Amino acid sequence: MELIGTIIAPFLPPLLDGVARKVKAMIQNRVGPPILQTWYDIITLLSMDSILPTSSLTFRLAPYVALASALCMALMLPYGSDAIINFGGDLIAFIYVFTLFSAALVFGALSVDNSYSHAGANRELTLSLVFKPLFAITIGTFALKTGSLSITEIARSISPSPSIIGAYLLLLYVTYVESGFIPYDIAEAETEILEGPLTEYSGRLLGLFKWALQIKRFAMIWLFASFVALPVAEGAIAFALQLLVFLLTYLLMGDLRVPERPPQARSGNEAGSQGHHYRCNNHDNRMSGMVRL
């Protein structure tokens, strides 16, 4: 099961985003993009040069730190029986890399002179200051009730009680917020502040951030699914139940609020979504004087 986790942690999240986009399109009575569209976008971005608006090392390192943090989060979670990265106190490490991800996003955005980037960074920081402590308190409740600081052991040892039920509900809410679903996508609000912290990113660096955001979302929802499935099952059955809870939670969260399509989007533009993938948003047009990476 650990091998399966190693495969699905980095590669499944963009695919699931494509599925969610397809489902949302069906609800809106349109064709929508291909299921692999998110992967098309990420691969296209990773194959392109990045235009650097600053010489700051922080700006260049932030996407790599974010991706590494997201991968560590995903690999610390149990897949069926055990986690790939499993040690006593890994819950503390999970909270640390979870916070490090947001720090990379914020510092990367603040390292450039752009008002949209700064606005997005401030929003991300505000959300972090509110919900990161709430997440720590929620997870701490599970740890206190089970007497362990290991994510896998906590998931296996959960037993029903009023405080645990409350912790489940709170964890579900924090998961929804930290996964960046509407309306908690305000830090990257494309139509308002041009993707906020990612405004000045392009090419390979933007692709890394997009990938990292998908993996982080996967890790948060998989953590909730683990706490639901592992107390009642073991081994392959536990993994199957984890996957089922994860998929249901992901799709329900992704489609809790389907935005109304503008009138001009209701006709004419849907034929192009069949047989061809859309072109990705590259942020390539930048002011002169910037250097390529």
Please tell me the predicted confidence (pLDDT) of residue 20: 82
The whole-number pLDDT of residue 95 equals 92
Report the percent of the chain where pLDDT is more than 70: 82
Place of tokens 């969260």: 253
Q: For position 269, what pLDDT does the model report? A: 42
Range of lowest pLDDT (14-23, 81-90, 94-103): 81-90
The stretch 40-53 carries a mean pLDDT of 88
pLDDT at 274 over 50: no
Provide the H-helix boundaries in the chain: 2-27, 37-46, 57-75, 90-110, 115-146, 151-157, 162-178, 190-193, 203-229, 235-254
Amino acid letter at 222? W
Owner of token pair 């909270």: 95
Q: Is the pLDDT of residue 255 over 70?
A: no
Tokens 């489902």 correspond to what residue? 23
How many CA atoms are closer than 13 Å to the CA of 270, on its beta-carbon side? 13
Which amino acid belongs to residue 18? G
Number of Cβ atoms within 10 Å of the Cβ of 238:
22
Average pLDDT over residues 159-180: 88
Over residues 91-95, the mean pLDDT reads 92
Give the tokens for residue 96.
Answer: 């640390």
Q: Please name which of 90, 103, 94 lies closest in space to residue 149, comparing C-alpha atoms.
A: 90
pLDDT of residue 5 exceeding 80, the answer is no
Checking if the pLDDT of 260 tops 60, the result is no
